[in-house]
Chain A
Amino acid sequence: MSLRRDIYQALEDIVGPEYALVDEPFLDSYAFQWGTELFRPNGNKFMPRPEAVLLPGSAGEVQAIARVCNKHKIKYKAFSTGWSVYAAPYTEGQILLDMRRLDRILDIDEKNMFAVIEPNVIGATLQAEAMKVGLNTHIIGSGCVSSPLAAATSFLGHGPDSLFMGQAAENLLAAEWVLPTGDIVRTGSLGAGIGWFCGDGPGPSVRAIIRGGSGARGALGVFTKCAVKLYPWPGPAQLPVEGTIPAYHSPLPPQIKAYTIAFPDWGAYADAHYKIYDAEIGYILHRQYNKLGEDLGPAFFMMYIDPTKTIDDLEEMLERPEIKKLTEEMRVSTQIVLCGMTQGDIAWQERALGEILAETGGWKVAAMSDPMMEKFTLLYLIRLGFKGLNMVFSGGYRGSFSQKGTPDFAVGYRAQAASVLAKHQKTGLIVEAGGDSMMGPGGGMGGGGHIGFEQFCFYDPSDLASINAALDYFEDAAREAKRLGLTSGYEARIFEARLTEQEKRTAFLSAPQPALYRYQRQIKDIFDPNDLGDDQYAVMPKDRKGA
């Protein structure tokens, strides 16, 4: 334990000895994270070991911890469910706050359609409870094991249902925020003492400070409670699940339908998205199955829904004529769930989708409308409990070319992104899944309007050669994205983490939006004057403040 004994004692006194961890095996389990091998040298699976891990049981305890940390100038950061390198400390000498003890759904306001939650509530539990009263919650792209509070307050937050339910940032209502200094701010209507229903007043309206597009990733204080919007759910009070592990599927009433829709070309794909937005149809719109690659995705999922098969059957599946045909049919495709609030509504949505397909030359992929496959798609996209399949091939994946924009913008850079990946797949050191491994929501915000794409690259995190090959690809992808004038995506985060202060300065000044980093610097100076937040919050280095 390198933390000074008196400091440790002060922290332990706050949370109690059972929730103050300093022994090496505990600390290393918290440094162990997904994706670390890309961020750390030589395939290292561990981020910097925290000095201590604390599990606070209330906002008051978080506040007390923050005050001790400020007094002794110790960096600290919190995480909710803690998936990915972003949840771990970026630098040595930090204290990590695991918010696991705060895991309650404090309220579901059925009439006003919102829920008040703590950090360790996950999408699946919130959805299960919301459905009991005819409501549903937005589940972010990383799946239902993730924290809706973390997504809403501190990180990214679009997903398959964003078309209907918006992205997490849009769903944030009032919040309880422990500032880096330890002061507590109650945002929006909560700050005015009139409840949780609004994030932007009356009371402090700080949405743009606490988060922009991708949030401060735990580096700007701690959110201990927040309210999130809920949305109508016309299905049963409990999601019905049938089938044999892992091929679970959900038989839902006829007003809830799932289709894979395919198109003759990318222009038609984009046009269909505009028309879907204009028609205001759809509950979920997501290019999901292509995440495993245009060459492998159809075969994999046909294999997966047969519980007698395993990954060892994939090669044989790929050789089947009907799978080869399906693979060709699905190259330009996406998944859509229609959810009628009434029988008339679903009839209207079905008709509208039919007309959109007719106008764009698109079609419903018959094999994916097989009842079993449809029920699987419904469960997959509504609960989003199969997101771990992102890593099913080799154990490691990371996104690249992760962009959001109009459908025309997204399909416009898709081909170039695919060709960069295809080039690297030829090495055999990353998975040869087909150049286009683009996944993403067909509506990155409520009501649609833009597509989000993410190009998957799969590698083996137990094989250094594969890790290095993936890094080569991501470096190439970052270079190509910059050449195309795209904003930096997931791939760029890897290399940002390796920058020296001098390199960071140069990089931020030459970024497409340099003012962003100056603005964030100013926020940090005001809210975190002792600079105790983690380095993941991208700010202009201090001596160039306002430059």
Chain B
Amino acid sequence: MSLEQYSADMKRCIRCSYCKWVILSQIKSWRFARGCPSEAFTKIHTYSASGKMGVSLALLEGRFNYSSEGLLDIAYKCQLCGSCDVACKVCRYFMEPLEMMRELRARLVEEGQLVPEHMFTIDGLRAEDNMMSKTKGERGNWIQGCDVKSLAGEKGPVLFHAGCRLSFDEELSPTARKALEILKKAGVEVGVMGKDETCCGGRAYDLGYRGEFTKYAEHNTEAWRSAGVKTVVTCCSDCYYAFKVLYAKYGLRKNVEVLHVTEFLERLVAEGKIKFARKLPMKVTYHDPCHLGRLAEDYAPWNGKEKKIKGQIVTWEPKRPIRRGANGIYETPRSLLRSIPGIELVEMERTREYAWCCGAAGGAKEAYPDFALWTAKERIEEAQSTGADALVTACPWCERNFLDAVPSSGSNTAIYDIVDLVGQAM
């Protein structure tokens, strides 16, 4: 793809502002009506998807150049959370705002327009194969002392992929260990890559570094093939999205089932392989990670062309699949939570396909930490408004950002990964 391929989208964008709000039919209050963290934080139209449509068209038309003041900030002060995308597609079949924004970033990278903070992260990735700027030799530390097969040398059907955040974030690493223990206890023949595990490449893709993404996607899929892996399971929603959607988009996900840990756990609960022994008397609310929710729909390859009917109605031949957040992983984590004795699940106003982002994604936490924390605090406040004791999520990037935001939010809301609650109840 290229930015130019979205020029028709840019011209068909009507600047209606749907992209700034949660889906209009779903607005339940003034307080939690905003959908786009970038626009809500800056209060400037330019940062919305529609604003970026205008900016990108102006760029393509040569009204300013790639080094123009403000352009990098506009492109990158955004989590690429996709809220704009689903809000837009309620009424439009031919618009792809999220894809357009990704192409804008890729073009900026191609043109040598780089965000310094991201350069640091990408340099770390190139040198150490992770997005945490940590030494690659430390990657397997989280698994030390755990009796688990290494699929770096042996073969096995199920690979547990910890991901960069859970591998290196010492406060969160126990979640990965817990997930692994639960799988093993349930009799799953699971292995890990340990210190040989590498980044999924998804974050590099979001930052516009396509070469780095392809490198890691090819490496990982080859490692899976060599190890005879049939199923990859991960606790990280970002990795899940990369494996399930981005790898498929690049034709690299072949004969491998990708599961988020919640999907695997739900399966094990249903099969009676996980049994809960303890009650957890808690009122919790669930945060839909963007990469597990609206962005996680299966990717269906499509190769066709625009076909106008009735003169000017834009359709496609053959029929083009539409990704608008309908089939994300929404019910699975909720079902899992409900299955834990004692837990009362309450919903926030913005849920499922129109959930508010945690704030961490798209390079925002690296380049714009204030913005990332503000976004998380908004979510914590929303969680608090439900009366819940805890905010539960299913992604370590979300969890990290929430944990970082809690102290300055004035909230006493507890933050959990869903795996931790499952583990506590077993």
Interface stretch, picked from B5-13, B374-382, B413-421, is: B5-13
Q: Is the CB of A386 within 8 A of B25?
A: yes
Q: Are A128 and B30 in contact (CB under 8 A)?
A: yes
Q: Which residues of A contact B322 (CB under 8 A)?
A: 310
Q: Is the CB of B313 within 8 A of A82?
A: no
Report B-chain residues with C-beta under 8 Å of the C-beta of A253: none
B311-A428 in contact (CB<8A)? yes
**Residue B363, interface by CB 8 Å:** no
Residues of A contacting B17 in the complex (Cβ-Cβ under 8 angstroms) = 81-83, 145
Please determine whether A128 and B46 come into contact, CB atoms closer than 8 angstroms. no
Stretch from B68-76, B228-236, B243-251 that touches the partner: B68-76
Roughly how many angstroms separate A101 CA and B43 CA in the complex, as a whole number?
7
A383 within 8 A of B: yes
Is the beta-carbon distance between B320 and A310 smaller than 8 angstroms? yes
Whether A245 pairs with B314 at a CB distance below 8 angstroms is no
Q: Which residues of B contact A395 (CB under 8 A)?
A: 8, 11-14, 92, 94, 314
B276 at the interface (CB under 8 A from A): no
Query: Is there an interface contact between B24 and A144, defined as CB atoms closer than 8 Å?
Result: yes
Does the CB pair B353–A245 fall under 8 Å? yes
Which one of B25, B44, B46, B68 contacts A379 once the chains associate, using CB atoms below 8 Å?
B25
* A124–B33 touching, CB < 8 Å: yes
Residue among A26, A30, A379, A385 with the highest chain B CB neighbour number at 10 A: A26
Mark A362-396 against chain B: 1 for CB-CB distance below 8 A, else 0.
Answer: 00000000000000000100010111110111111
Q: Tell whether A28 pairs with B320 under 8 Å between CB atoms, given A125-B30, A311-B314, A395-B14.
A: no
With both beta carbons as reference points, the residue of chain B lying nearest to A43 in the complex is identified as: B11
CB <8 Å contact, A314 and B91 = no
A26 to B52, CA, bound (A): 9
Contact across chains for B311 and A32 when beta carbons are under 8 A apart:
no
- Shortest CB-to-CB span from A501 to chain B, Å, is 28
- Interface readout for A424-441 with B: 1 if CB under 8 Å, 0 if not? 010111111100000000
Contacts of B71 in A (CB 8 A): 25
**Roughly how many angstroms separate A428 CA and B310 CA in the complex, as a whole number?**
7
Instruction: Check B12 against A460 for contact (C-beta < 8 Å).
Output: yes
Interchain CB contact under 8 A, B23 and A245 = yes
Residues on B with beta carbons closer than 8 Å to the beta carbon of A35: 14
**Quick check: is A31 within 8 A (CB to CB) of the other chain?**
yes
Residues of B within 8 A of A389 (CB): 91
Tell whether, in the assembled complex, residue A312 and residue B311 are in contact, meaning their CB atoms are under 8 Å apart: no
Shortest beta-carbon distance from A221 to chain B in Å: 22
User: Which of B53-61, B202-210, B400-408 interfaces with chain A?
Assistant: B53-61
Chain A positions within 8 Å of B314 at CB level: 311, 393-395, 460
Q: In the complex, A312→B307 CA distance in Å?
A: 9
B45 near A: Cβ within 8 Å?
Answer: yes
On chain B, the residues within 8 Å of A30 by CB distance are 45-46, 54
Partner of A383, one of B25, B58, B316: B25
Chain A interface residue count, Cβ-Cβ cutoff 8 angstroms: 83
Nearest Cβ on chain A to B232's Cβ, whole angstroms: 28
A246 x B313 contact (CB < 8 A) = no
In the assembled complex, which residues on chain B have CB atoms less than 8 Å from the CB atom of A32? Answer: 13, 15, 50-51, 53-55, 57-58
Contact residues in A for B45 (Cβ distance below 8 Å): 29-30, 82, 98, 100
CB distance from B322 to the nearest CB of A (A): 5
Partner of B312, one of A82, A101, A459: A459
Which residues of A are found within 8 Å of B88, using beta-carbon distances? Answer: 388
**B28 near A385 (CB under 8 angstroms)?**
no
Interface stretch of the complex, out of A209-217, A414-422, A448-456, A461-469: A461-469
Kindly provide the distance from the CB of A427 to the nearest chain B CB, expressed in whole angstroms. 8
**What is the minimal beta-carbon distance from B55 to any residue of chain A, in angstroms?**
5
Q: At the interface, yes or no: A122 with Cβ under 8 Å from chain B? A: yes
Contact of A312 among B25, B46, B91, B315 (CB under 8 A): B315
Closest beta carbon of chain B to A122's beta carbon, Å: 7
Q: Which of A26, A145, A313 contacts B46 (CB 8 A)?
A: A26
Cα–Cα, bound, A401→B15 (Å): 24
Indicate with 1 or 0, residue by residue over A78-107, a CB within 8 angstroms of chain B CB atoms: 000111000000000000001011001100
In the complex, the answer to whether A145 meets B21 with C-beta atoms within 8 Å is yes
In the complex, the answer to whether A462 meets B8 with C-beta atoms within 8 Å is: yes
CA distance A37 to B315 in the complex (A): 22
Q: Contact partner of B15 among A23, A82, A459, CB < 8 A?
A: A82
Q: B254 in the interface, Cβ–Cβ < 8 Å?
A: no
Q: How far is the CB of A32 from chain B (nearest CB, A)?
A: 3
- A residues less than 8 Å from B53 (CB atoms): 32
Task: Specify which of B52, B68, B313 is in contact with A431 (CB 8 Å cutoff).
Answer: B313
Q: Are A388 and B18 in contact (CB under 8 A)?
A: yes
Q: Does B77 contact A (CB under 8 A)?
A: no
- Interface presence of A273 (CB below 8 A): no
Question: Which residues from A are CB-within-8-Å of B90?
Answer: 245-246, 248, 385-386, 388
A192 to B93, CA, bound (A): 51
Task: Verify B324–A128 contact, CB threshold 8 A.
Answer: no
B-side contacts of A307, CB under 8 Å? 326
The verdict on A431 contacting B25 (CB below 8 Å), with A26-B74, A391-B91 known, is no
Q: A23-B70, A392-B91, A395-B12 are in contact. Are A315 and B46 (CB under 8 A)?
A: no
B15→A25 contact, CB < 8 A: no
**Which residues on the A side are within 8 Å of B64 (C-beta)?**
24-25, 28
Q: Is B325 an interface residue (CB 8 A)?
A: yes
Q: Given A429-B312, A460-B314, decide whether A55 and B44 contact each other with a Cβ distance below 8 A.
A: yes
Q: How far is the CA of A45 from the CA of B53 in the complex (A)?
A: 11
Task: Give the docked Cα–Cα distance between A180 and B116 (Å).
Answer: 44
When the two chains form their complex, are residues A246 and B11 in contact, meaning their CB atoms are under 8 A apart?
no
B309 within 8 A of A: yes
- A29 to B51, Cβ gap below 8 A? yes
A-chain residues with CB within 8 Å of residue B93 when the two chains form the complex: 310-312, 392
Contacts of A178 in B (CB 8 A): none
Least distance between B311 CB and chain A CB atoms (Å): 4
Contact mask for chain A residues 28-54; partner B; CB cutoff 8 A; 1 contact, 0 none: 111111110100000101100100000
Please determine whether B313 and A314 come into contact, CB atoms closer than 8 angstroms. Answer: yes
Asked if A311 and B313 sit within 8 Å, CB to CB, the answer is yes
- Alpha-carbon separation in the docked complex, A395 to B8 (Å): 9
Query: Taking CB as reference atom, which chain B residue is nearest A315?
Result: B309
Query: In whole angstroms, what is the CA distance A435 to B64 when docked?
Result: 42
Find the B residue at minimum CB distance from A248.
B25
Q: In whole angstroms, how far apart are the Cα atoms of A145 and B353 in the complex?
A: 19
A236 to B314, CA, bound (A): 39
| Residue ID in chain A nearest B8 by CB atoms | A462
Q: Is B89 an interface residue (CB 8 A)?
A: yes
Given A21-B44, A128-B29, A145-B18, the answer on whether A431 and B312 have CB atoms closer than 8 Å is: yes
- Contacts known (A101-B43, A244-B326, A246-B89); A433 close to B310, Cβ less than 8 A: yes
Contact of A386 among B91, B309, B312, B319 (CB under 8 A): B91
Q: Is A241 an interface residue (CB 8 A)?
A: yes
| CB<8 Å pairs between A and B, sample of 22 | A21-B44, A24-B68, A25-B70, A28-B55, A28-B63, A29-B52, A32-B15, A37-B11, A122-B33, A124-B27, A124-B33, A125-B29, A125-B30, A144-B27, A245-B324, A312-B93, A315-B309, A385-B27, A391-B91, A392-B93, A394-B12, A427-B311
Question: Which residues of B are at the interface with A, using a C-beta cutoff of 8 A?
Answer: 7-8, 10-18, 21, 23-30, 33, 42-46, 50-55, 57-59, 63-64, 68-71, 74, 86, 88-94, 308-316, 319-320, 322, 324-326, 353
List 9 tightest A-B contacts by C-beta distance, closest first. Answer: A395-B12, A32-B54, A388-B91, A385-B24, A28-B58, A462-B11, A34-B14, A23-B70, A462-B8
| A contact set with B: CB distance below 8 Å | 18-19, 21, 23-26, 28-35, 37, 43, 45-46, 49, 55, 81-83, 98, 100-101, 104-105, 121-122, 124-126, 128-129, 143-145, 238-239, 241, 244-246, 248, 250, 296, 307, 310-315, 379, 383, 385-389, 391-396, 425, 427-433, 458-463, 466
- What would 11 more interface pairs be, CB under 8 Å, given A29-B55, A145-B18? A32-B51, A45-B11, A83-B16, A124-B27, A125-B29, A144-B24, A391-B12, A391-B14, A394-B12, A461-B11, A462-B12
